Amino acid sequence: MTASPPGTSIGADGLLPGARFTFSPNCDDRPPDETVSLIVIHAISLPPGEFGGDAIERLFTNRLDPAGHPYYREIHALRVSAHFLIRRDGALFQFVPCHRRAWHAGLSNWRGRERCNDFSIGIELEGCDELPFEEAQYQALTQLLSVLKRSYPRADIAGHADIAPGRKTDPGPRFDWKRLAE
């Protein structure tokens, strides 16, 4: 599946036109009066180090078959999600409306504030620490960040490793942060 360009703004329903939407139940309401002030970039591959297939979507929708791979037995009961996923080919998926709290950050802290899920948008890139990300992913991420920054102009951008140091390493050493400044 190739990427279609995202819309230019987040809709009133919290969805981004151009992203393929599949609802994840692993979300809830943000705390009252909370606004998005952080965008967190993650990396995920299921099974680890392998790309393609529908395992990430199944994980985010609580349908991951524990018999599908030995690693899935360890994680199938997790209740996690992200707002967005960008596949290796740049295809953009959305699982949680932006006005809702996705369960992506876990135990986390950003600039002295804990519970980053409360005030962040989570973006998963299909990838891992050991391999570089694809050009199509950087293009899709840049377009997505442009839209998100219009909706949330004060939002910082950080990696999962930045908000959960010592616990998480993603998006990993192969992620080219300089590409976001271009």
| Alpha-carbon span 36 to 152, nearest angstrom | 6
Catalytic residues: 124
Task: Quick: pLDDT tens for 56-102.
Answer: 999 999 999 999 999 999 999 999 999 999 999 999 999 999 999 99
Task: Quick: pLDDT tens for 91-147.
Answer: 999 999 999 999 999 999 999 999 999 999 999 999 999 999 999 999 999 999 999
Local structure of residue 119 (DSSP, 8 states): G
Domain ranges (residues) in the chain: 20-51+81-181
Q: What is residue 2's predicted lDDT score, i.e. its pLDDT?
A: 47
| Alpha-carbon span 178 to 182, nearest angstrom | 7
| Alpha-carbon span 57 to 15, nearest angstrom | 17
Q: Specify the CATH superfamily of domain 20-51+81-181.
A: Peptidoglycan recognition protein-like (3.40.80.10)
For residue 16, count CB atoms less than 10 angstroms from its CB and return exposed for 0-12, middle for 13-18, buried for 19 or more: buried
